[in-house]
A and B are shown apart, each in its own frame.
Chain A
């Protein structure tokens, strides 16, 4: 399985809280697609401090198409990221990581 998101080596955000458990707790929602063709998105925020991620919160919403959105307000990065259940929990993690890299 090829992951769509390619990453380049740049400074890595350092996670103080393990993101995988949080993403996996949403897994039921991500893979349970209510309507054909709609795409699951992770929506939430991440608090960063000198490249390390302290607090974060996320949830799942569905949208008719893929939509990327992220902006930064002080130390807080807000994001909407499409996720693909085929990429697994790791794929979702990489997509959040990609947003963080762009915003940091």
Chain B
């Protein structure tokens, strides 16, 4: 049996840390050396520990036990056994998490270093997940901010961006008529009502801007080689027009998404 222990200071309340520990598949996904996590048939994670030229891989079936202050992730693999224990102590300004890792089985005398890295990674992962800002915007503010945006007035967009937070940025291939599917995907992890999505092809020849409240399009700007079109949705006719332009958008775009955060 090989044991390693460490403790990390987390600048967040105990409830925050518990929220992360409760979501064990998500938590385990953020460990180092974890190759695959599956929840289809219980919680199963494949972990590949490298040492010299060898790779000690095993598939662990995890069971999670908890009491008031500690969480135990007990993983049984085919050739080894891995137990991670997280014990929390709450202080006024921070939470201390004592993490202990024990490993028994194949290669346990070789794996000192990788286990240490695994342990440190678990600690850092828990720290950064817990300290990440919560997504709890005030709907009243964000709705109000969206009303001020008018794509015909570029300065209103610039001001909107100041009061926003970038939630996504990446290259996407948009299928013809598939932009709204992409928007749905972006929405999945967001609680905000208002979403501003903009996209531009890498050479800058085509672009679009889209302002949404829930699934409703508020405004759209569509730019291609030979036309620029701004639609502000006010009635059925303009809504239809906006949808028509949305369905025309196709190709590889750098897509950025923002949500309002209120503020000044």
Contact = CB atoms under 8 A, between A and B. Distances in A.
A7 B205 contact: yes
Given A24-B161, A24-B256, A31-B161, A87 B204 contact: no
Interface in B113-170: 151-152, 154-155, 157-159, 161-162, 166, 169-170
Contacts of A94: 200, 204
Given A21-B169, A31-B161, A86 B155 contact: yes
Interface string A9-31: 10010000010110010011001
Contacts of B158: 31, 85-86, 88
A9 B151 CA distance: 27
B95 interface: no
| Residues of A contacting B: mostly | helix
B193 interface: no
Contacts of B166: 20-21, 24
A102 interface: no
Contacts of A9: 203, 205
Contact of A1 (B159, B202, B205, B221): B221
B113 to A, nearest CB: 29
B154 A90 contact: no
Interface residues of A, number: 24
A93 B205 contact: no
Interface residues of B, number: 26
A27 to B, nearest CB: 6
Given A1-B151, A1-B154, A18-B170, A90 B159 contact: no
Given A21-B169, A94-B204, A89 B256 contact: yes
B221 to A, nearest CB: 7
Nearest to A31: B158
B220 to A, nearest CB: 13
Contacts of B152: 1
A37 B117 CA distance: 54
A102 to B, nearest CB: 14
B254 interface: yes
Contacts of B203: 7, 9, 12, 97
A21 to B, nearest CB: 5
B85 interface: no
Across the A-B interface, give the 10 residue pairs with the lowest CB-CB distance, nearest first. Answer: A86-B154, A85-B158, A94-B204, A90-B200, A20-B169, A7-B204, A1-B154, A31-B158, A24-B166, A21-B169
Given A1-B154, A18-B170, A88-B161, 6 more contacts: A1-B152, A12-B203, A20-B256, A31-B158, A31-B159, A88-B154
21 contacts: A1-B154, A1-B221, A3-B204, A7-B203, A7-B204, A12-B203, A18-B170, A20-B166, A20-B254, A24-B256, A31-B158, A85-B154, A87-B154, A88-B158, A88-B198, A89-B161, A89-B256, A90-B198, A90-B200, A90-B204, A94-B200
